């Protein structure tokens, strides 16, 4: 029998029904309803350190907490280090509705194929229920998601990347207007790894990966892929765009949304600092990756950043390329698959002079000569 070790105080019959279906399918030992509190963060951090989901030494954080307060290190499985686009599918009744650039799988085939992998995959594990809000609370464009996962690392990341807990419940109310996000690391087998989107059911199923956008289902899965369908149905757009605000010395503000492909410097551009020649100007980041846009009643185009935190690829990020980002990650950051120096700091290619000795992303001893 499944044990409830942390219960939700919020009641929604649609959520309860779905969670019971997930419990029956995945057969977890216990269920933890996340509330997004500081106390919960502390408890789950200690649990992740004890279980090895966050790198520890004798159960203690390996990161130098004086140099990098609130920061932790995670190492993913060697076969689980990137988004798996070839295993990512849009599952619509009509193949043409998946779009020209996406892979398609029939919904019934996907549910059956992934359902067989999910069946019993959480035996002996805790199932975490994560209510989260994409977008600022109170915004007409904000949307609710609920992710179920077997990974406390995912919970801690979702706490950073979304507005988790009560804001989601307050927005959802008693309706069924939420994206159903089912995730499990399962056995991390490449042969049993899929990310499937069911736009017509407002549902995402992801199994076999604990890494990045494969596992944090509020990001690419909900904010872009499911968001594109919701936007099409509801009259708005979900786009891969940065948003920045620019204020001149007279206090007039302009907002700029710009679309760029991945890994081309979009985050760097979104975090610009005004040059000396433009004293009095202010520039701030509204969003660095995803924008939800809609025409307003005044005829202007309005946009929000559905995310609450930042998730980016570290190599190449430095004081020269993006001083804002580098300063930002000096506290309250979860680093994944970066080198750990002997003094408990982190390093990656492009950050600066390489340390004389470190542990690489798999925890093996490394020196600059190792790659020469």
Two tokens, residue 214: 């494969």
C-alpha neighbours within 13 Å on the C-beta side of residue 312: 26
Provide the pLDDT for residue 372: 52
The CA-based dihedral angle spanning residues 278, 284, 289, 293, taken in that order and rounded to the nearest 10 degrees: -100
Catalytic residues: 264
Give yes or no for a contact between 3 and 30, defined as CB atoms under 8 angstroms apart. Answer: yes
Joined together, the tokens standing for residue 334 give 């979860």
DSSP 5: E
H/E segment holding residue 357: none
CA distance linking residue 206 with residue 195, whole number of Å: 4
Q: How far is CA 38 from the centre of its chain?
A: 19
> Would you give per-residue pLDDT tens digits along the chain (372 residues)?
688 877 777 889 999 999 999 999 999 999 999 999 999 999 999 999 999 999 999 889 999 999 999 999 999 999 999 889 999 999 999 999 998 889 999 999 999 999 999 999 999 999 999 999 999 999 999 999 999 999 999 999 999 999 999 999 999 999 999 999 999 999 999 999 999 999 999 999 999 999 999 999 999 999 999 999 999 999 999 999 999 999 999 999 999 999 987 778 888 899 988 989 999 999 999 999 999 999 999 999 999 999 999 998 899 999 999 999 999 999 999 999 999 999 999 999 999 999 999 999 999 999 988 865
Own/partner contacts of 231-239, CB < 8 Å, gap of 24 or more, are 231/292, 235/294, 235/295, 236/141, 236/292, 236/293, 236/294, 237/291, 237/292, 237/293, 237/294, 238/290, 238/291, 238/292, 238/306, 239/290, 239/291, 239/292, 239/293
List C-alpha distances in Å: 236 to 202, 210, 304. 16, 31, 11
Q: Express the helix, strand and coil content of the chain in percent, nearest 5 each.
A: 30, 25, 45
The span from the CA of 360 to the CA of 340, in Å, is 7
Q: Is the dihedral of CA 272, 278, 283, 289 positive or negative?
A: negative
pLDDT (0 to 100) of residue 264: 81
Q: Report the pLDDT value the prediction gives residue 103, as an integer from 0 to 100.
A: 96
> In this predicted structure, what is the pLDDT of residue 10?
80
Strands 241-247 and 334-336: unpaired
- CA distances to 82, 146, 148, 346 from 18, rounded to whole Å, are 29, 10, 10, 41
């Amino acid at each position: 029998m499944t044990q409830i070790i942390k219960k939700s105080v919020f009641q929604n019959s649609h959520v309860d029904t779905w969670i019971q279906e997930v419990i029956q399918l995945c057969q977890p030992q216990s269920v933890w309803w996340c509330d997004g509190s500081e106390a919960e963060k502390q408890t789950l951090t200690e649990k992740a350190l004890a279980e090895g989901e966050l790198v520890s030494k004798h159960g203690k954080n390996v990161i130098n907490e004086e140099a990098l307060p609130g920061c932790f290190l995670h190492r993913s499985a060697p076969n689980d280090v990137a988004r798996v686009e070839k295993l990512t599918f849009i599952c619509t009744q009509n193949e043409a509705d998946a779009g020209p650039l996406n892979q398609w799988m029939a919904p019934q085939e996907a549910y059956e194929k992934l359902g067989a992998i999910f069946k019993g995959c959480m035996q002996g594990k805790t199932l975490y229920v994560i209510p989260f809000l994409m977008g600022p609370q109170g915004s007409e464009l904000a949307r609710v998601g609920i992710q179920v996962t077997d990974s406390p690392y995912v919970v801690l990341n979702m706490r950073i990347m979304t507005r988790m807990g009560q804001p989601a419940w307050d927005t959802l109310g008693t309706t069924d207007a939420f994206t159903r996000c089912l995730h499990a690391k399962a056995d991390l087998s490449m042969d049993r790894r899929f990310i499937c989107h069911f736009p017509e059911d407002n549902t995402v199923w992801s199994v076999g990966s604990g890494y990045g956008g494969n596992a944090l289902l509020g990001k690419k899965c909900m904010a872009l892929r499911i968001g594109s369908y919701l936007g099409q149905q509801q009259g708005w757009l979900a786009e891969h765009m940065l948003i920045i605000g620019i204020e001149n010395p007279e206090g007039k503000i302009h907002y700029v949304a710009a679309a760029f492909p991945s890994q081309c410097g979009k985050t760097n551009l979104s975090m610009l600092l005004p040059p000396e020649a433009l004293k009095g100007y202010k520039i701030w980041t509204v969003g660095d990756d995803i924008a939800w846009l809609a025409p307003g009643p005044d005829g202007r185009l309005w946009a929000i950043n559905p995310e609450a935190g930042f998730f980016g690829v570290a190599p190449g990020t430095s004081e020269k390329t993006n001083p804002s980002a580098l300063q930002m990650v000096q506290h309250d950051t979860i680093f994944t698959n970066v080198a750990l120096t002997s003094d408990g700091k982190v390093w990656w290619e492009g950050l600066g002079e390489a340390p004389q000795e470190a542990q690489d992303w798999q925890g093996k001893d490394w020196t600059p000569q190792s790659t020469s």
